[in-house]
Structures are given as structure tokens and as C-alpha cells.
Amino acid sequence: MRTIKNFSLILATLGFILTPALGLAREDKPTAPASDAKNFCTRIANVTGEVNSKLVKVDQDRGSKRTEVFNQLKERKESRVKQVQEKRDQAKADLDERLSDLESDALTEAQLSALAAFRAAVAAAQEVRKAAVDKAMADFRTSQESLVTKRQDAIKANATTFKADVAAAMAKAKTDCAASVDPATVRRTLMSAQQAAKDKFQQANKDLDKLGGQIKNLTQTRNQAVRDANQAFKAALETARQNLKAAFAQS
């Protein structure tokens, strides 16, 4: 008997805790009790003001985000260009040092000649690689910037339409209230119009995914071009290496 009593107590406690939580989970749209719905027309001015303020704030945030995105892309580009240049300078200095050592090792004219040929082959391969990589990177950055601009413009245009749709829905609600339409009906109509505006906004923003796909293709093209250039360089370098080693093996 005591166990049943305890069990009932636990169930009651759980019910007390979970009932409001479940109620909140179901409430994914703003709702109001029937009495509040009747008073909707008295609140319409406040509601309109609140929504407009939030939309103005989000619009400002969007503008800041646009600037932030372009600034970050620019900073990354500058940082990467600098890093790449440092790596190229370091590689050149290291190669010069090693080739000087090899010159000291050279015992014959044939070896010195092979060393000169190696130096020339490496320099030529480096020029070809540098031109190909730099072009791939420049093409990528230009096209990426263009697509990001399109993306930002699309967000702005979609937001402008969304704000206009919301404003129109609010204006109709005000007009209906002024015309003494049943406040509950006005409220329902407004909510429905806002949901339609959201659906339209979401649909329009799906185009952003298409732009994302274009950026992905662009990235793949860049990666392939850079990798191809690097592979071609390594192949040329390997041939030059074998020729030089053969010359130094014939002493």
C-alpha cells in the first residue's frame, strides 16, 4: 500500500514537472489566450513597433556581416599570399646554398656543366609552376569574390522582400482593426500572412545553396590546377635530379 502511495507521488511530481515543458515544446508559434486574441487590435501598434525594431536591427547586422565576410576573405588572402612568398624565398635560399656546396664537390667540367643544367631545369620548372599556381589562385579568388557578392546581394534582396511582405501583413492588420474586423480574425490573418512570408523567404534562400555549389566547383577546379602544376614540377625535378646524380657518379 505504501509502495503504491509512493509510486503515485512520483507520478504526480513527474506530471507537475513535465506538463509545462511539454506544453512549451508544442508551442512553436506565438499564440495568445482567447481573451488576448480579443484584445489584439489594442496591441497591434506595439506588435508592429516591436517587429519593425527587430527587423531594423537584423538589417544592420546583415550589413555588418557582409563587411565582415569580405574583410575576412581579404585578410586570409593577404596572409596566405605572404606565407606562400615566404616559403618560396626560403626554398630558393636553401637551394642556392645546396647548389653552392655541390659546386664545391664538382671535380670535372662535365659535373659543373651538369650542375648548370640542373640549376636551369629547376628554375624553368619553378617558373612554369609559379605561373600556373598563381593563375589558378587569382582565377579562384576573382570568381569566389563574385559569387560571394552574389550571395550577399541575394540575401539582401530576399530580406527586402521578406520585410515588405511582413510590413504589408502588418498594414492589413491595422486596416482591418480600424475597420472593426473581429480582432481574433485579424490576428489569425496576420499570423497566416507572416507564415507565408517566412515560407517564401526560406524558398528564396534555397538559391544560396546553388551558389554554395558553384563555390564548391570553383574550389575543385582550383585544387586540381594547383595539384597538376605541382605534380608537373615534381616530375621535372625528378628528371633533373637523375641527370645530375648520373653526372656526379661519373668521376
**Which residues between 10 and 29 bind another protein (CB under 8 A)?**
none
Within the chain, residue ranges assigned H as helices are 2-26, 34-38, 40-105, 109-178, 183-205, 207-249
Number of residues that bind another protein (CB under 8 A): 83
From candidates 32, 112, 121, 132, binder to another protein by CB under 8 A: 32
Place of cell 621535372: 236
Q: Measured from the CB of residue 5, what is the shortest distance to another protein in angstroms?
A: 43
Residues 130-149 that bind another protein (CB under 8 A): 133, 137, 144, 148
From candidates 8, 13, 83, 108, binder to another protein by CB under 8 A: 83
CA distances from 124 to 86, 118, 128, 140, 227 (A): 20, 10, 6, 24, 18
Name which of 19 and 160 has its Cβ closer to another protein. Answer: 160
- Which stretch, 9-17, 18-26, 77-85, 174-182, contacts another protein (CB under 8 A)? 77-85
Site for another protein contains 66 (CB under 8 A): yes
The DSSP 8-state label assigned to residue 28 in this structure reads -
From candidates 128, 150, 214, 248, binder to another protein by CB under 8 A: 248
Contacts of 74 (CB under 8 A, 6+ apart): none
Place of cell 474586423: 181
Site for another protein contains 121 (CB under 8 A): no
Q: Measured from the CB of residue 63, what is the shortest distance to another protein in angstroms?
A: 10
Q: Measured from the CB of residue 18, what is the shortest distance to another protein in angstroms?
A: 25
Name which of 1 and 107 has its Cβ closer to another protein. Answer: 107
Report the amino acid identity of residue 41. C
From candidates 22, 65, 142, 171, binder to another protein by CB under 8 A: 65
Q: Measured from the CB of residue 245, what is the shortest distance to another protein in angstroms?
A: 5
Residues 161-220 that bind another protein (CB under 8 A): 162-163, 166, 187, 190-191, 194, 197-198, 201-202, 205, 208, 212, 215, 219
Name which of 6 and 75 has its Cβ closer to another protein. Answer: 75
From candidates 11, 42, 50, 164, binder to another protein by CB under 8 A: 50
- In 3D space, the residue among 9, 38, 24 whose CA is nearest the CA of residue 185 turns out to be 38
Degrees, nearest 5: CA angle 43-46-52: 135
Contacts of 152 (CB under 8 A, 6+ apart): 66, 69
Site for another protein contains 150 (CB under 8 A): no
End-to-end CA distance of the chain: 105
Instruction: Give the Cα separation of 31 and 37 in Å (integer).
Output: 9
Q: Which three cell numbers stand for residue 216?
A: 564548391
